[in-house]
Structure 1
Amino acid sequence: MFLPLISNSQNLQLSEKGEIHILTCGPYQGELYSAFGHSAIRVKDPQKGYDILYNYGVFDFDQPNFYLNFARGHLNYKLGVTEYRNFRDYYIYYNRYIHEQVLNLSHQQKQQLFDFLQWNALPENQYYLYDYFYDNCATRVRDALVKTFGDSVQFDGSYINTNYTIRELTDLYLKQQPWGDLGIDICLGLPMDKVAAPYEYMFLPDYIEKGFNHATIVRDGKRVPLVKNTIITYNSTPEEDQASAITPLISFIILLFIGIIATYFGYKKGKLYAGFDVLLFSVIGLIGWLLLLLWLATDHNAAARNFNLLWAIPLHFPVALLLLMRKKPAFLTKYFSATWIISLLLLLCWAFLPQQIHYAFIPFVILIGLRAFYIQKFLSKHEAA
């Protein structure tokens, strides 16, 4: 009975004892999306009996065309409203720390922010188009204050003394999820390698907390710290590293070793082992088509201009299938000659590319170049014969 009241009303008033807290919750390594932590806003008023949690990180699987919208970059998130206690207990259950920054606002300012949150939670206002780095559950918390108070709120980014790119900031949180990190590095392109401004660090909940600690607001005509004090609601206990022992680098080294063995015995026996190459280059080509679609056919802005297409060349599929033909087309020799040259140039230029390509792909690109070189030599020899 309480939830419909708080989610559909714009008339709730705070007493003088009312407070607004910014919540920062720790990461959970059980899921990729939860590895970055979470941010939310708590409105607490013991005199009125309010303890409301505003959460910008809610999405609905039942929304029309959910999976299509997700693939196209049109996923709607919404501002969810719940009881604080339920939210708190959930995060404690998963051993995720909870820090609560008590905002240093006047009674009037608290009511202004509460009014904005109530308005934002209305069904016609609660949805927004999610963006990984520029419009997410953390940035929405910051923007709620900016929209409410305008230039009265100022964030001082001088405490940031690093020059991380957005990709590097993301990598910091995925050390226990190497395969998730690999997937992000494959799918997201050059925009991820932009050096983040201090304000842009706040797409991460940790930097929402740090940013608010270094922010000020005009209160009663004076500029004061935005945060009055911080409450440690729950300290998480240390857990074992959950990272898989089989990392992408190890997997690709093993695959390279298999490719070297296949090439050695193929050379000794004068065989191509076309099945191996068809599988290898078809998978690579299909990855390339996926990356091209993410770039050109969706609104995932971070997937644009992806330099992984230098090794994941879409034309590998279906060209690789032609290796199964008894009489192979003449152009295959030149095609695989170009492929190993591109692979070699990519390896030589790896450290100088404007986009950071995941280091685990180095042995994989070596494998691509090795097999393409062998295919070209094999086809040239049989053409001459």
Structure 2
Amino acid sequence: MKNIWLLFILLPLISNSQNLKLSKDADIHILTCGPYQGELYSAFGHSAIRVKDHTNGYDILYNYGVFDFDQPNFYLNFARGHLNYKLGVTEYRRFRDYYIYYNRYIHEQVLNLSHKQKQKLFDFLQWNALPENQYYLYDYFYDNCATRVRDALVKTFEDSIQFDGSYIGTNYSIRELTDLYLKQQPWGDIGIDVCLGLPMDKVATPYEYMFLPDYIESGFNHATITRNGKKLPLVKKTIVTYDSTPEQDQASTITPFIIMAILLIIGVIITYFGYKKNKLYVGFDVLLFSSTGLIGWLLLLLWLATDHNAAARNLNLLWAVPFHFPIALLLFMRKKPTFLKKYFGAISIICLLSLLSWAFLPQQINYALVPLAVLLGLRAFYIQRHLSENETA
């Protein structure tokens, strides 16, 4: 790049200034970058804004997907849903080369803006990049690196920009949209499905589809901008800067369903021999129910003690009952409390009802968990039966 050294001098100034002006031949591009299955967070792709002005000698990338591991209380804030992301400013070529290195496609939509509109958007980005304005509270689905790109234009142009969502021909929920990108990451998919509750099962509007970078690209392709009193397509043209090559499927052959099915088989075998010998295998049951109970406490905390809005009203609590821990530990007692029989009897009924209604619940619960729910119900029923038959012993 001819003026690369000038750009390195200007970048620190850009983050602290609103005074840079664009020349008449400047352009602003919306970048959509393809997914990378090597990490969970990169499986959904990425969006950014490029300001290109060769006359003035800069090519700047505005990236809303930056966070700082060194920010105070990073892990606590992440757990509580208080993670601050920020608008980062960098040199375009560095950003481009990074995505090409990881074989992630790059599409650039050249915005169909007048010079005045380009300057107005650039002024907003410069203002947004100031230290006092660059941070925002990240939300997985409603305030992320993709929605911030859309919102930068909405805040700048207000009613002059219009999105036409009629091209959306599906009625996907937010969870279903997320699932589309996690087919190669079944463990990440089940982790999200377990931790996030009913808000994920809301049917997304076309506007809400744009929490995903691919739908930012599609949404912009179906948007208009008012310029000099006329409605024009928002996107003038699309440049394929890098077209990724097909990658080998990276999905693990050891899926959650396989692990859960193996666990169920082990549980069935243990139950069979326990029935034959009139014996409880307490160690297995304590481990099984304590583990699911701890998962239940985690889900309850995510719902009630954090700002992760998508974790609210989580029906996975039907199988991950928090009270399993510490109640399961009482199975170790030589003289077991009488209420254990009633507790595990109730759990067996809850598991049965959950399984019968699994496909009809308002929350889509991952089907890989069905064997686990069967196992919990089976062992709860066996414990209740065993305690009833041996309560006089």
Displacement after TM superposition at 1:270 (Å): 1.6
1:62 aligns with 2:76: no
- Which of the residues 291, 299, 305 maps onto 2:313? 305
Cα RMSD of the aligned pairs, angstroms, is 0.6
1:97 aligns with 2:139: no
- Which of the residues 221, 239, 254 maps onto 1:246? 254
Distance in 1, Cα, partners of 2:198 & 2:300: 13
Displacement after TM superposition at 1:254 (Å): 0.4
Distance in 1, Cα, partners of 2:94 & 2:18: 22
Q: Which amino acid aligns with 1:305?
A: R
Aligned equivalent of 1:367: 375
- Cα shift readout 1:173-225 (whole Å, capped 9, x = no counterpart): 00000000000000000000000000000000000000000000001111000
Distance in 1, Cα, partners of 2:129 & 2:10: 14
Aligned equivalent of 2:39: 31
SS of residue matched to 1:198: coil
Aligned equivalent of 1:320: 328
- Which of the residues 137, 140, 152 maps onto 1:129? 137
Aligned equivalent of 2:341: 333
Displacement after TM superposition at 1:268 (Å): 1.1
Ranges in structure 1 where 5+ consecutive residues have no aligned partner? none
- Which of the residues 166, 177, 200 maps onto 1:192? 200
Ranges in structure 2 where 5+ consecutive residues have no aligned partner? 1-8
SS of residue matched to 1:360: helix
Displacement after TM superposition at 1:3 (Å): 2.2
SS of residue matched to 1:74: coil
* Segments of 4+ moved more than 2 angstroms: none
1:9 aligns with 2:14: no
Distance in 1, Cα, partners of 2:252 & 2:340: 39
Distance in 1, Cα, partners of 2:392 & 2:164: 70
Distance in 2, Cα, partners of 1:140 & 1:91: 20
TM-score (norm 2): 0.97
SS of residue matched to 1:33: coil
1:147 aligns with 2:155: yes
Matches within 5 A, 1:35-54: 35-54=43-62
Distance in 1, Cα, partners of 2:112 & 2:392: 81
Distance in 2, Cα, partners of 1:345 & 1:84: 55
TM-score (norm 1): 0.99
- Cα shift readout 1:32-79 (whole Å, capped 9, x = no counterpart): 000000000000001011100000000011111111000000000000
SS of residue matched to 2:325: helix
Q: Which amino acid aligns with 2:38?
A: G
Displacement after TM superposition at 1:91 (Å): 0.2
Distance in 2, Cα, partners of 1:378 & 1:384: 11
Aligned equivalent of 1:263: 271
- Which of the residues 30, 49, 56 maps onto 1:22? 30
Distance in 2, Cα, partners of 1:112 & 1:291: 44
Aligned equivalent of 2:293: 285
Displacement after TM superposition at 1:271 (Å): 1.2
Displacement after TM superposition at 1:107 (Å): 0.2
Distance in 1, Cα, partners of 2:209 & 2:233: 20
Aligned equivalent of 1:296: 304
Q: Which amino acid aligns with 1:201?
A: Y
Displacement after TM superposition at 1:2 (Å): 3.4
Matches within 5 A, 1:111-260: 111-260=119-268
SS of residue matched to 1:36: coil
Distance in 2, Cα, partners of 1:187 & 1:62: 26
SS of residue matched to 1:164: coil
Displacement after TM superposition at 1:7 (Å): 1.5
Q: Pick which of 112-121 and 2-11 moved more.
A: 2-11
SS of residue matched to 1:217: strand
Displacement after TM superposition at 1:372 (Å): 0.4
Q: Which amino acid aligns with 1:79?
A: L
Identity among equivalent positions (%) equals: 83
Distance in 2, Cα, partners of 1:219 & 1:47: 24
Displacement after TM superposition at 1:30 (Å): 0.6
Q: Which amino acid aligns with 2:97?
A: D
SS of residue matched to 2:107: strand
Distance in 2, Cα, partners of 1:7 & 1:298: 32
Displacement after TM superposition at 1:291 (Å): 0.2
Distance in 2, Cα, partners of 1:182 & 1:349: 19
Aligned equivalent of 1:382: 390
Q: Pick which of 34-43 and 8-17 moved more.
A: 8-17
- Cα shift readout 1:69-113 (whole Å, capped 9, x = no counterpart): 000000000000000000000000000000000000000000000
